[in-house]
Amino acid sequence: MQKALKKRMKHETTEKKKITFITGGARSGKSVFALKTADVIGKIKAYIATAEALDDEMRERIEIHRKSRGNDWHTIEEPINLLSLFESKHSEWDIAVIDCLTLWVSNLVGNGLTDEAILKMAHNVSEIMAKSGCSIIIVSNEVGMGIVPDNPLARRFRDIAGKVNQIMASTSNEVYWMVAGIPVQIK
């Protein structure tokens, strides 16, 4: 995978900056693929973490992820305001990885935002990313392939996450579906 990735991305830095959207199921290899792709694209790398350490298990997961990235990443924890982050910081990076969009949507729902407000934020973020001075990789879970959730909040989350994924995928230059650690390009 790494050899093919390097071949595909070798002239990336001389081309226009682009947005890559990576989706798939839990533990499908999305984050690993995103980080490997970012390593090929640029030297100044930002990892934008949307997760919040709300319990000990999540704190441990975050620490494991941080260690696995190494020291050559600028880690920015931003669970809510991706728009102002990109407005103010995008010119500082060659590549930014947002991991993950699904948690961002969950954070917005948990903060009481309406579906309309979340979709407007997603549109605004996608527009600012399209104008950004850096390449961007967006990681997001595909949440719509399981059974229909049994409660209104879970159904709402599934529906809004799917719509936000569609917004980001439509703005992206490339879209990948991850299956068992294998990236399948679908756009």
| Amino acid found at 26 | A
For residue 167, pLDDT beyond 70? yes
- Judge whether 67 lies within some domain: no
Pair 42, 134: CB distance under 8 Å? yes
By CB atoms closer than 10 A (0-12, 13-18, 19+), residue 19 is: buried
**What's the average model confidence in pLDDT over 14-29?**
85
Is 65 an active-site residue? yes
Q: Is residue 58 part of a domain?
A: no
Range of the domain at 102: 18-50+73-185
Residue 180 counted as domain residue: yes
pLDDT digits (tens, 9 = 90+) for 30-70: 999 999 999 888 788 999 999 888 888 988 888 888 888 87
pLDDT of residue 15: 52
Assign 14 a pLDDT band (cuts: 50, 70, 90): very low
Residue 12 domain-assigned?
no
Query: At residue 178, does pLDDT exceed 90?
Result: yes
Q: Among the options 11, 65, 74, 90, which is catalytic?
A: 65
Q: DSSP secondary structure string, 135-161?
A: EEEEEEE--SSSPPPSSHHHHHHHHHH
pLDDT digits (tens, 9 = 90+) for 84-109: 898 888 788 899 999 999 999 999 99
CATH number at residue 22: 3.40.50.300
Q: How much is the average pLDDT of 137-161?
A: 93
User: Residue 178 and residue 141: Cα distance in Å, rounded?
Assistant: 10
Sign of the C-alpha dihedral, residues 153, 157, 160, 162? Answer: negative
- Structural domain contains residue 59: no
How many domains in the chain? Answer: 1
Give the pLDDT score at 86.
Answer: 86
Nearest to 124 by CA among 95, 164, 162: 164
Model confidence band, residue 144 (pLDDT cutoffs 50, 70, 90): confident
